[in-house]
Structure 1
């Protein structure tokens, strides 16, 4: 049986379930672009209605880090943009419009307008980049006969688009978006459905993700191991992913072996 070899130990597995954003593709490249476009359009639309959203609260709205020019440079791994569903994000933004004086209907219409603008921008620019070492790791998994799936808080159709833009959709036998289950992360529903689609038991599957929601989903589903991908600046901050069994900076620290015992 194949083994996932991590710095903290080896685990016999037959499948790996990957989160998408921040795990397969670089989070800021995709969602930083989307967030900048959405928030920029959101503030402009409010101004056209004689309303002003306090600039100092923009970062806390979705859990993003901005530079002096307003560009998104990082994100809170346990914040809404990283862990929330798209419906969560739209509700957060709609609530802000309502607090500023719009009716709930007007606020929802404004958010929908901003969503359309941001989605058009993404389709045009397709700002997706793989995490370092990912393609080598995926090739190694396939060569060793490990079944692969994606479990994402994004909606399935959007996730499949992003995988296709990145040119890696063929690696995955299942793509499970939050729209396919009753409960998203940190609940086990997506992991359990992915295992069912792959024909494996949860105890034979590893979960790799970049938020503690991924780690808690893995625990709740009874996965063999929960592996957290953390950037070099975050790897020493255990509190970011307290439920991870293993923390790595990149895929260079992971490999696939064979259990010869």
Structure 2
């Protein structure tokens, strides 16, 4: 289910010069914010949770997911080079799964690692804040990667749509509108962080069993449908 050649090409596309620059900017900004907050405010568990929840999980993780998830496949579809890949004797599910693994790995590396480091800077992992938000970033990375990989297969405007989803739905509606929170990857991930962190420091509107089921369901469904769309694209090309 994993093809090294497809993985190498996908890493090259995702970590291209322009995308890599953006990928490094967001974690660097998080660490800079963490240093500034720690210097100005000292150690405060609630402030640490607010910074990691408000910037790391609500903004950085979905934006990196957009870059990695769409970048894993949409450039090849846009420039037509996907036809050459599909002409090789590699099963379509293997292509999608390999690209998903690459997107997840990149998203985790550029979101979960800096989230943990920022948590250590802010309060030294007091009340398990750093670990809680790192786990949330890890599980959110999986769901975001699958969603944005799917988006890259169904739309030529995947990056724009992904940014709207990340900035408007997840960051704005997901934080302010109660009904929208239950349909937010961010809230599902927060449910796991809530279980790990100290009492009252992290909150989620979604129960843990429902959150786990939704994270798994969305990931599996998005991956399956991305494979379905890729098979349809192959048939169209052959016709």
Q: Which bin holds the TM-score, normalised by the shorter protein?
A: under 0.3
TM-score, with structure 1 as normaliser = 0.26
TM-score, with structure 2 as normaliser = 0.28
Report which of the two has the higher share of helix.
Answer: 2
Report which of the two has the higher share of strand.
Answer: 1
